[in-house]
């Protein structure tokens, strides 16, 4: 079953320990939502607003954050693998040093630019600085 929350207002929603794999949150307002310990495999957050979201210890595998807003999101202990970040607003992300950044795609699905391990972590750090 494929669930979608396209353009939904889910501000402050608690998805803690949820399996939201394959869910579509395109254009959703998920400010201050809690995805701690959640499984997000192939989850779509395109153009979603995840400002102040708690992503602590979440599993993000092939997750699409294309053009998402992740201002001041907390990613401590989260795992990022094959995560698409093209165009995402990443200012003020917390916990990058404690996150497990395996690979990110800063290109597009059609023309991927894959960064792995320390290179990916460094790119995230550089792009999360407050501008």
Mean pLDDT of the region 114-129: 95
Whether the CB-CB separation of 21 and 4 falls below 8 Å is answered with: no
**pLDDT tens digits, 10-61:** 999 999 999 999 999 999 999 999 999 999 999 999 999 999 999 999 999 9
d(CA 29, CA 18): 18
Q: What is residue 129's predicted lDDT score, i.e. its pLDDT?
A: 86
Q: Write down all domains in the chain, each with its CATH number in brackets.
A: 1-131 (2.160.20.80)
d(CA 36, CA 105): 22
Which of the four pLDDT bands, split at 50, 70 and 90, describes residue 130?
low
């Amino acid at each position: 079953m494929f669930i979608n929350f396209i353009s939904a207002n889910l501000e402050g929603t608690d998805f803690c320990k949820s399996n939201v794999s394959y869910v579509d949150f395109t254009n959703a307002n998920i400010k201050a939502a809690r995805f701690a310990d959640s499984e997000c495999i192939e989850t779509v957050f395109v153009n979603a607003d995840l400002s102040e979201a708690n992503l602590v210890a979440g599993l993000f595998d092939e997750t699409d954050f294309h053009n998402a807003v992740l201002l001041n999101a907390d990613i401590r202990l989260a795992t990022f693998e094959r995560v698409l970040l093209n165009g995402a607003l990443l200012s003020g992300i917390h916990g990058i040093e404690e996150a497990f950044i395996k690979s990110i795609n800063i290109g597009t699905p059609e023309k991927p630019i894959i960064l792995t391990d320390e290179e990916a972590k460094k790119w995230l750090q550089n792009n999360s600085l407050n501008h």
